[in-house]
Amino acid sequence: MKSEFPLLAAQPGLHYLDSAATAQIHRGALDAVLRHETGSRANVMRGTYALAEAADQAYESARTSAARFLNAAADEIVFTSGATAALNLVAHAFGAGLQAGDRVLVSQAEHHSNFVPWLMLRERQGIALDILPLRPDGQLDLDRLPELLHDQTRLVALTHCSNVTGAVTDVAAVVDAARRVGAKVLLDGAQAVQHGPQDVRVMGIDFYAFSGHKCFAPGGVGVLWARRELLRDLPPFHGGGGMVGEVGPGGFSWAEAPRRFEAGTPPIAQAVGLAAALDWMMGLDWPRLRMREAELCARLLDGLHDIRGLRVLGSMRADRRAPIVSFEMAGLHPHDICQVLDARGLALRGGHHCAQPLLAALGVEACTRASLALYNDAADVAALLDGLRHAAKVLR
């Protein structure tokens, strides 16, 4: 599997364990970008010559691939620069219809990308923000939903999978509770998409956001999916070329969705690369891959349990989490740990992982994170465990 990822193939001594931040790009996605840029590079919606029409076709084909990955319709797919942009789009466009007294529910587990935009909306429009707490095992405390949801709750915006604890949200329970008060549901899928295609119809949600660089595609592209009836009525977020119908001194008219939300030149080549990555992912045996990821995660958790002074954040059961494992080592700073590991060819991330409310809830200022993807293997896990034992000796 590593041979299909150019950087990993070129650096066989590297143990890359930071896929929760950025996954490595698949060779097929990289090749697709190169083919587009050297064979059909042109702007979309701008020309009637053959090259421009080829660019249009490639871009819209990418929209179809993203829709297929989510079991959605192509006209429900908005291309953005990433999950952060997609979440901000919802905060501005859906948020434009909210007013003082309306409520949005988020959780302590959110990445800042799904926390800060709602804080900004609270400052801008006076909405109320309710916070769903965590349980000690890092899971969302869904038992608190009945007391935190109100008739005035308009949106529940939660992570699909935590980027720190790997905890996977019980979407069915969230949707059921939200529907009882008439609230819409948004999921931040940035960490979930790396581990296989998602079905927004089965989940029964209203919005879904993810980034290309998390699922083996280029950076600079993301997807917002929204139900067609919702997308149709939302106002645009950005103004410019491509998102309008008619423009004059007296005003302008909006283009139909999804174009309404794609002002200016979109990430064309990046979307083409994303489509190639998603099409490749759609052809994989995900039940087998998820089982393999769970086995590696279990091996990692077992090994971490045996390291003195190390505390894993979240559940110690691999079947209750994605293969994202964060931990703290008593008396050692995560940055020091990561530097020692880097000298041994191990790439991990240390810090607050843009999830300060989550770490505060768990009583931690910073932690070290190892995140596994489909290209990792037992050798990566063994190297990490050996490296951590070495770091403990060197730094203590």
Copy the structure tokens of residue 87. Answer: 């979440």
Task: Give the tokens for residue 190.
Answer: 């940035």
Tokens 């308009």 locate to 154
Tokens of 63: 């929209």
User: What number does CATH give the domain 2-17+285-395?
Assistant: 3.90.1150.10
β-partners of residue 310 are: 329
Residue given tokens 């809830």 in the structure block: 361
Q: Is the Cα dihedral 282, 285, 287, 289 positive or negative? A: negative
CATH number of 28-282: 3.40.640.10
Q: Would you give per-residue pLDDT tens digits along the chain (396 residues)? A: 899 999 999 999 999 999 999 999 999 999 999 999 999 999 998 789 999 999 999 999 999 999 999 999 999 999 999 999 999 999 999 999 999 999 999 999 999 999 999 999 999 999 999 999 999 889 999 999 999 999 999 999 999 999 999 999 999 999 999 999 999 999 999 999 999 999 999 999 999 999 999 999 999 999 999 999 999 999 999 999 998 888 999 999 989 999 999 999 999 999 999 999 999 999 999 999 999 999 999 999 999 999 999 999 999 999 889 999 999 999 999 999 999 999 999 999 999 999 999 999 999 999 999 999 999 999 999 999 999 999 999 997
DSSP state string for 59-96: HHHHHHHHHHHHT--GGGEEEESSHHHHHHHHHHHTGG
What is the rounded distance in angstroms from the CA atom of residue 205 to the CA atom of residue 225?
Answer: 10
Active-site annotation, residues? 354
Identity of the amino acid at 233: D
What are the residue boundaries of the structural domains of the chain, listed by start?
2-17+285-395, 28-282
Enter the pTM of the model. 0.97
